[in-house]
Amino acid sequence: MGKEYKIAVIAGDGTGPEVIKEGLKVLNAAAKKFKFSLATKEYDFGGERYKRTGETLPDGALDELRRFQAIYLGAIGHPDVKPGILEKGILLKLRFGLDQYINLRPVKLYPGVETPLRDKKPEDIDFVVVRENTEDLYAGIGGLLKEGTPDEVAIQEMIYTRKGVERCIRYAFELARTRPRKKLTLCGKTNVLTYVQGLWQRVFDEVGAEYPDVQKDYAHVDAICMWMLKNPEWFDVIVTSNLFGDIITDLGAMIQGGMGIAAGGNINPAGTSMFEPIGGSAPKYTGKNVINPLAAICAGGMMLDFLGEREAARAVETAVMKVVSEKLKSLAAGKMGYGTDEVGTMVADFVGR
């Protein structure tokens, strides 16, 4: 018998539980086929629990989660809870607390998937965004002065540390080196954010000197939004800061076919990583069996890859490609031609074959 992996499951809010259920169906099919096992434990963190108990992540949750090899997350965000509470109290707290300093977001157009980019084909859209995941404006450094008065001042600081930038850039160079095209683009804003982005540029040049085999490029964040639409084939690996990465990966998700297929990993290479579909909790589709589970399934595939089950990860990706090209009418919620559960079953069946 193969290895056993300990996985914490946080299905979360909205459509999270529906897509995670299908993801686990596929992961278990892969486990059976490739002879490993998954010891899963479910946690009820999310909006419902918060409404019941006033608690986001309970004390001790981080220490407990650290004992797992990975976390499989559905979605965090609840229509009855003020924006920010669950996002900061759960999602960001997990990313920061577990030092998941890389947010890895592949942007890959599978054959048979419709992209809004006329004339672009799967061979044109195949890149990965390496988003820094623990610093920047997300660090939450700032505050309000004279709140609620006409003299109110609001400050939120863009924080970057040498260590945080360097480990992220190094990760991106290592990743670029493993890919056939070996090209890394730094996405920044060096023309305006001269301090913070200047640090990124210096570290990029410095670390880059150790990677003569990797082709280097630079694009401003505003310009990259143009190029990702006009010439997505230019990109292989893009490395960028947290907020820029947040924004450009939503754009990336759209050109690869939408939130129904976009997956990501919050990576701590030496600790517990967390894998999630990058779309939100989609309250309006909740409980209707119409949401597309493929993003969650692809996130599960990424998780297998990180656990070292490469063959199983490839089988999941191949099965997803078969289902999108041979079965689904569309990747959009309610338009797939199948229910959420049927899509999960089809992928699981292909994996098991």
Q: How far is the CB of 124 from ligand IPM (least distance, A)?
A: 24
5 tagged catalytic: no
Which amino acid would we find at residue 317? E
Instruction: Choose the stretch contacting ligand IPM; rule: CB under 6 A; options: 86-94, 197-205, 222-230, 289-297.
Output: 86-94
Residue placing its CB nearer to ligand IPM in the complex, 91 or 331: 91
Residue placing its CB nearer to ligand IPM in the complex, 259 or 321: 259
What is the DSSP secondary structure assignment for residue 88, as one 8-state letter?
I
Residue 276 interacts with Mn ion (CB under 5 A): yes or no: no
Cβ contacts of 154 within 8 Å, gap of 6 or more: 142, 144
Beta pairing class for 142-145 and 126-132: unpaired
Among 13, 246, 305, 317, interactor with ligand IPM by CB under 6 A: 246
Which of 72, 138, 160, 211 is flagged as catalytic? 138
Residue 136 interacts with Mn ion (CB under 5 A): yes or no: no
Among 91, 302, 321, 333, interactor with ligand IPM by CB under 6 A: 91
Q: How far is CA 334 from the centre of its chain?
A: 23
Beta pairing class for 102-108 and 70-75: unpaired
Which residue minimizes CB distance to ligand IPM? 87
Q: How far is the CB of 281 from Mn ion (least distance, A)?
A: 13
Which amino acid would we find at residue 248? I
189 tagged catalytic: yes
Q: How far is the CB of 244 from Mn ion (least distance, A)?
A: 11
Residue 13 interacts with ligand IPM (CB under 6 A): yes or no: no
246 tagged catalytic: yes
Tokens of 240: 């960028």
Tokens of 140: 């939450």
Residue placing its CB nearer to ligand IPM in the complex, 73 or 319: 73
What is the DSSP secondary structure assignment for residue 283, as one 8-state letter?
G
Query: What torsion, rounded to 10 degrees, do the Cα atoms 21, 110, 237, 129 define?
Result: -40
Long-range contacts of 205-210 (CB under 8 A, 24+ apart): 207/166, 207/169, 207/170, 207/173, 208/169, 208/173, 208/184, 210/173
Residue 246 interacts with Mn ion (CB under 5 A): yes or no: yes
Residue 305 interacts with Mn ion (CB under 5 A): yes or no: no
| Binder of residue 87, out of Mn ion, ligand IPM, none (CB less than 5 to 8 A by kind) | ligand IPM
What is the DSSP secondary structure assignment for residue 147, as one 8-state letter?
T
Tokens of 177: 């080196």
Residue placing its CB nearer to ligand IPM in the complex, 91 or 176: 91
Q: What are the Cα distances from residue 10, in Å, to 7, 21, 66, 167?
A: 10, 11, 14, 27
Among 61, 65, 199, 278, interactor with ligand IPM by CB under 6 A: 278
d(CA 328, CA 115): 14
250 tagged catalytic: yes
138 tagged catalytic: yes
Which residues are identified as catalytic?
138, 189, 222, 246, 250
Give the binding site for ligand IPM (CB under 6 A): 87, 91-92, 246, 278
Give the binding site for Mn ion (CB under 5 A): 246
